[in-house]
Structure 1
Amino acid sequence: MKSLMNFSLHESDLSRFENDWNNIESFLRTHGLDGVELFVDHTPLPDFPYGVVKGVHLPYWMGRHRAWVDEKAFHEDMDENEKFFLFGGHDRQDMIANFINALKNAASVNAEYGVFHVAYVELDHVFTRDFGVSDMEVMDSTAEFLNRSVSLLPGGEPPVRLFFENLWWPGLNLLDTAATMHFIDSLEFGNWAFTLDTGHLMNAIMNCTDEKHAIGSVLEVLARYPEDIIDRIEGMHFHCSLSGDYQMQVARNGVPADYYDLSFHERLIAVMEHVSKIDQHMPFTDERCREIVDFVKPRFLTHEFETSNLPELEWKLRTQIRALCGEDR
């Protein structure tokens, strides 16, 4: 198993290491990590030492489902930045081209996999949970989008192994085994696997308020799946999220006052602040977290955290590695 941390080429990440990849590589060695899972999108990549990249996280266009099933969405009167953020393009062909370019970026850095979200949510849905679509509908549109895109690539396969990640919004959430199997059966290519995001699964369960219970709940969901599906979970985003009480409270409150009067940028900030309270990205502290890793036996485990500075990142890494491995690094 390769142990990684999430990383991006954004200044907020690079500046912690004085924009020096030697410092990044030294940090990885200090903490016993094999490399990074790097966020990449469809835009050209700068030069940097690609050897540190073991996997990538592909972009998530959260409203893709709506635009894919109803192309009128592309012509709605909305800010162009909002339209691209939601849909990933200005029409279907643009969406496909941008996705393919992201895959090519992943291949260009020799990534062994690319994480892809199978989920749909509109900005206001994150407050109301009034999604208006089923998991199956989102998985069907996603499979169609993926099949169409991948069919245009050499050999009809993605150039890096696609790792499908669970979220807590409509789509792949892993709670319904039949829906998961339906999604698998809808795929027309073979170079794929799953990434289990432990925190996202806790969010989907919704009643996780303490770590011991949350770990047990994750194991209960995994136990519903046959061995051949567990074997397909080749990646893991490892972190803890205990936001059950908060989710229930906000679902009752609905959309914040004056939300619809805000600009796109202001609404996005409000949404991201809310999402960060749901998806907490905290380190595991209970050594029983090892049971999740032992059950799945992933090829890649990414310590996935959201942090404001290097000391916070170090603290979260050390805390979780201590729980997982029983030692400090």
Structure 2
Amino acid sequence: MKFQMNITTSYDDVCRFFSADDLKSFYKSHGCDGLEVMPLDNYDPADLEHPIPPEECSLIRSSMVRGVHCCCLGDWMDKDREELIRHYRKDLDYAKWMGAEYVVFHVVQVNDEEGFTYVMQHEDREVLTAAASFINELLEGQDYDFWFLMENLWWPGLNFLSPEDTRYLLERVHYEKKGFMLDTGHFLHTNLDLKTQEEGVDYLNQMLDAHGDLVSYIKGIHLQQSLTGDYVKEWLSTRHELPEDPSERFCKVYEHIFKIDKHEPFTAEGVPAMVQRIQPLYVTYEYITRSREELGKYLDRGKILLMDCQKNKNVL
């Protein structure tokens, strides 16, 4: 069992660290073995016209990278297939170049309007069928040897609400080293009535009970939580208009999403037992933070909680 810290190659993340050695010292001191990287262009505010591509980020060395999180598109099913292939191959090739052990891919279809209204235009099975077809085309003929881990969200697609749908997706993806990245916080968003983290652990264990043998395909966990059902209920009780201006629309949508999906430490007493039950290869503390100091505090809370798991991480 390996423990990762999430990071992007965007300016907001890389500006927190002075050097590669500083970054490594930081995550090691907070109980992590390496990084799960989302490769983004680095737009320095002082030079927005010349972004630094991910492969030129001097902060991140290949020896640090355990996983790569693809820059996933939520609204994709009607987009140009060749452009989608180019978009994702860029991230997969980065993962191969970095020697990543796994990549993460969202299986979801949601547009801005759906995210605002929760009125969905596609059924789960429809999205899973389209996603499996696309994944097969994306990976076919490529010499990748990393784990391809499909992540759940709370929108149409992979959400772990139906074991039959989960198995349906798994059986239709041809890639041999396939599995799932269980995002605990994303799953909690499928139940707006959860009030406490302890209720969240119970809800997750009920899902694991229902999935039976499929649990062995959960090769990774994004360990985080946010209980925002009351926010969503209040949001849905009033009408909201999407701005016409693209930049305003983008900001409004992401402000809303981040109020739902806060990515905070999952510290309920039952979390270690749940992790041990799954026995994943990878556990990523996937947090959204405002500073290096806050990130350190979040990681320490996760490290203390999973200390026994980390002591036994070599059992796999």
Deviation of 1:44 after TM superposition, in Å, equals: 5.8
Q: How has the CA–CA distance of structure 1 residues 129 and 29 changed in structure 2, closer, same or farther, with 3 Å as cutoff?
A: same
Distance in 1, Cα, partners of 2:40 & 2:71: 5
Residue 231 of structure 1: SS of its match in structure 2?
Answer: helix
Deviation of 1:176 after TM superposition, in Å, equals: 0.8
Tell me what 1:128 maps to.
117
Q: How many residues align?
A: 297
Residue 124 of structure 1: SS of its match in structure 2?
Answer: helix
Q: Which amino acid aligns with 1:53?
A: V
Deviation of 1:101 after TM superposition, in Å, equals: 2.3
1:230 counterpart = 2:219: no
Distance in 1, Cα, partners of 2:27 & 2:205: 29
Deviation of 1:287 after TM superposition, in Å, equals: 2.2
Matches within 5 A, 1:1-329: 1-18=1-18, 20-40=19-39, 45-46=55-56, 48=58, 49-67=61-79, 91-154=80-143, 158-227=144-213, 229-256=214-241, 259-261=242-244, 263-325=245-307
Distance in 2, Cα, partners of 1:21 & 1:93: 35
Residue 66 of structure 1: SS of its match in structure 2?
Answer: coil
Deviation of 1:295 after TM superposition, in Å, equals: 1.4
Residue 163 of structure 1: SS of its match in structure 2?
Answer: strand
Distance in 2, Cα, partners of 1:41 & 1:174: 28
Q: How has the CA–CA distance of structure 1 residues 254 and 172 changed in structure 2, closer, same or farther, with 3 Å as cutoff?
A: farther
Q: Which amino acid aligns with 2:307?
A: C
TM-score scaled by length of structure 1: 0.86
Note if contact 1:113-1:160 (Cα within 8 Å) is conserved in structure 2. Answer: yes
What RMSD over aligned residues (CA atoms) do the two structures have, in Å? 1.9
Distance in 1, Cα, partners of 2:96 & 2:295: 28
Q: Which amino acid aligns with 1:56?
A: V
Residue 126 of structure 1: SS of its match in structure 2?
Answer: helix
Distance in 2, Cα, partners of 1:66 & 1:178: 26
Query: 1:109-139 deviations in whole A, cap 9, x for unaligned?
Result: 0000000000011012111011111000011
Deviation of 1:276 after TM superposition, in Å, equals: 0.9
Query: 1:140-191 deviations in whole A, cap 9, x for unaligned?
Result: 111111112222424xxx4422100000000000011111111112112212
Q: Which amino acid aligns with 2:124?
A: D
Distance in 2, Cα, partners of 1:205 & 1:223: 17
Note if contact 1:161-1:191 (Cα within 8 Å) is conserved in structure 2. Answer: yes
Deviation of 1:292 after TM superposition, in Å, equals: 1.7
TM-score scaled by length of structure 2: 0.89
Give ranges in structure 2 of 5+ residues lacking alignment. 42-52, 310-316
Residue 226 of structure 1: SS of its match in structure 2?
Answer: helix
Note if contact 2:31-2:299 (Cα within 8 Å) is conserved in structure 1. Answer: no
Residue 193 of structure 2: SS of its match in structure 1?
Answer: coil
**Percent same amino acid among aligned pairs?**
30
Give ranges in structure 1 of 5+ residues lacking alignment. 68-90
Q: After TM superposition, what 4+ stretches of structure 1 lie above 4 angstroms from structure 2?
A: 41-44
